Homo-oligomer: A and B are copies of this chain.
Amino acid sequence: MEPIKVGLLGFGTVGCGTYTVLRRNQEEIKRRAGRGIEIARIAVRDPAKARTALASVDAADAGSVEVTSDFNAVVDDPSIDIVAEMIGGTGIARELVLRAIANRKHVVTANKALLAVHGTEIFEAAHANGVMVAFEAAVAGGIPIIKALREGLTANRIEYIAGIINGTTNYILSEMRDRGLDFATALKAAQALGYAEADPTFDIEGVDAAHKATIMSAIAFGVPVQFDKAYVEGISRLAAIDIRYAEELGYRIKLLGIARRTAKGIELRVHPTLIPAKRLLANVEGAMNAVVVHGDAVGTTLYYGKGAGAEPTASAVVADLVDVTRLHTADPEHRVPHLAFQRDRLSDTPILPIDEVTSGYYLRLRVADVTGVLADITRILAAAGISIDALLQKESEQVDDHGKGETDIILITHETVEKNVNAAISGIEALRTVVSKVTKLRMEALN
């Protein structure tokens, strides 16, 4: 049988990784897919550069790949069966993906931003044209987490997902903890090693993780992708001292993407999170990714691996190419739904605003070393219905010549609604004896 023909849009790290893996493992992949998978055309801004890259991977084969700077020519090419979009972003990538779908081509993409923001439009177009849109590479790189959620755990009412789904921030947090660095120094080290980009905003501010959490929330709960409803908080304001205090209390701080089902609606949020140090997830270090999925039947499961990099991401892209090759002849009404649930059976369960989220909280504040300050604080918390799980009071430090002292107090609360905590924090900050703002971090037990 003729190989299935793939047109590649973009030829950066992931595009080149995809070509590399397809060439190196072509025999093994063909034995699995039942048919060869061939990159027939590549559209890229700088064809000369792409040709050099191709030749460096497989000089003998490179000549058979046509390289063009005309993206539409690939998307419109009647001989192309699958378009693999590797451009990224929500601009030209969206236009080309929709055009490929209109041309009745299957699409494989690693573009989390595109799907988190325009997923509904794209999946509707795919349905109208009877084609598949596969996107395993969009979340957690080489870890087959989309497949696990969409197909492996279909028996379950999913209760929550909590994932380390951004390698850059996990690397920075690991360095801050291991080497006692502050955020800015750890970021520079990550940039020097290529773990963080020159403009790291999307990673460190949690946007990338929120794109991925948004996609997972749709698959887990059968709701549309709603990136605009996600709460997004990164690690750039995280202080080294909170990592140390958390450690003393038996916790690690990780940037988690969380999607949780509650009676009131769905929580969808990304923020630095204290988790018990003994959890497997707490021990995922460096640039590695891991996702915990809790289902009512299966209980807690965890999926771990490399979340980025040329070949780990290519592993997911090629798995999608194999899936499409294996299943493209199936009746379009009898395929695995893009977002796990049948498109006409989505739920309108609301995504909760962050004020309505339930969590445990870590609160750090600095107080004047005066009798009664702790009583004032605990009274305010009790009045807001917040109970205290643990308290850490550091030794007093003398701050002026009159012998007056100041001290850090760290409080761990039981689970409560965020708006109650915020109200209590306002009350605490108004106390004359409290000399700092209150630092608030959320906690997850991950039971």
Contact of A155 among B29, B284, B295 (CB under 8 A): B29
A147 surroundings in chain B (CB, below 8 A): 144, 147-148, 151-152
Q: Does A211 contact B (CB under 8 A)?
A: no
Q: Are B319 and A154 in contact (CB under 8 A)?
A: yes
Contact string against B for A residues 272-309, beta-carbon threshold 8 Å, 1 for contact and 0 otherwise? 00000000100110000010000111111111111000
Contact of A298 among B280, B283, B298, B312 (CB under 8 A): B312
A151 CA to B316 CA, complexed, in Å? 10
Given the contacts A32-B342, A298-B306, A334-B328, A153 and B144 also touching, CB distance less than 8 Å: yes
Q: Which 3 A-B pairs have the closest CB atoms?
A: A144-B152, A155-B318, A301-B305
Q: Does A405 contact B (CB under 8 A)?
A: no
Q: Does A323 contact B (CB under 8 A)?
A: yes
Residue of B nearest to A302 (CB): B304
Q: Are B152 and A337 in contact (CB under 8 A)?
A: no
CB distance from A36 to the nearest CB of B (A): 12
Q: Does A172 contact B (CB under 8 A)?
A: no
Q: Does A180 contact B (CB under 8 A)?
A: no
A274 CA to B318 CA, complexed, in Å? 34
A153 surroundings in chain B (CB, below 8 A): 144, 315, 319
Contact of A297 among B300, B311, B340 (CB under 8 A): B311
A303 surroundings in chain B (CB, below 8 A): 301-304
Q: Does A435 contact B (CB under 8 A)?
A: no
Q: Are A337 and B32 in contact (CB under 8 A)?
A: yes
CB distance from A115 to the nearest CB of B (A): 18
Q: Are B142 and A301 in contact (CB under 8 A)?
A: yes
Q: Does A379 contact B (CB under 8 A)?
A: no
Contact string against B for A residues 331-348, beta-carbon threshold 8 Å, 1 for contact and 0 otherwise? 101111100111001010
A31 CA to B343 CA, complexed, in Å? 9
Contact of A305 among B298, B316, B323, B330 (CB under 8 A): B298
A136 surroundings in chain B (CB, below 8 A): 152
A163 CA to B153 CA, complexed, in Å? 20
Contact string against B for A residues 8-27, beta-carbon threshold 8 Å, 1 for contact and 0 otherwise? 00000000010001101100
Contact string against B for A residues 172-208, beta-carbon threshold 8 Å, 1 for contact and 0 otherwise? 0000000000000000000000000000000000000
A284 CA to B279 CA, complexed, in Å? 10
Q: Are B311 and A298 in contact (CB under 8 A)?
A: yes
A129 CA to B303 CA, complexed, in Å? 35
Given the contacts A31-B222, A341-B32, A144 and B148 also touching, CB distance less than 8 Å: yes
Q: Are B154 and A33 in contact (CB under 8 A)?
A: yes
Q: Are A314 and B155 in contact (CB under 8 A)?
A: yes
A295 CA to B323 CA, complexed, in Å? 18
A317 surroundings in chain B (CB, below 8 A): 155
A157 CA to B143 CA, complexed, in Å? 15
Q: Does A427 contact B (CB under 8 A)?
A: no
5 contacts across the A-B interface (CB closer than 8 A): A21-B156, A31-B347, A152-B319, A155-B316, A327-B330
Given the contacts A147-B148, A295-B315, A298-B312, A25 and B157 also touching, CB distance less than 8 Å: yes
Q: Does A326 contact B (CB under 8 A)?
A: yes
CB distance from A401 to the nearest CB of B (A): 49
Q: Does A3 contact B (CB under 8 A)?
A: no
* Highest count of chain B CB atoms <10 Å: which of A144, A151, A155: A155
Q: Does A322 contact B (CB under 8 A)?
A: yes
CB distance from A342 to the nearest CB of B (A): 5
Residue of B nearest to A299 (CB): B306
Contact of A315 among B280, B298, B305 (CB under 8 A): B298
Given the contacts A32-B340, A327-B336, A142 and B318 also touching, CB distance less than 8 Å: no
Q: Does A28 contact B (CB under 8 A)?
A: yes
A31 surroundings in chain B (CB, below 8 A): 222, 341-342, 345, 347
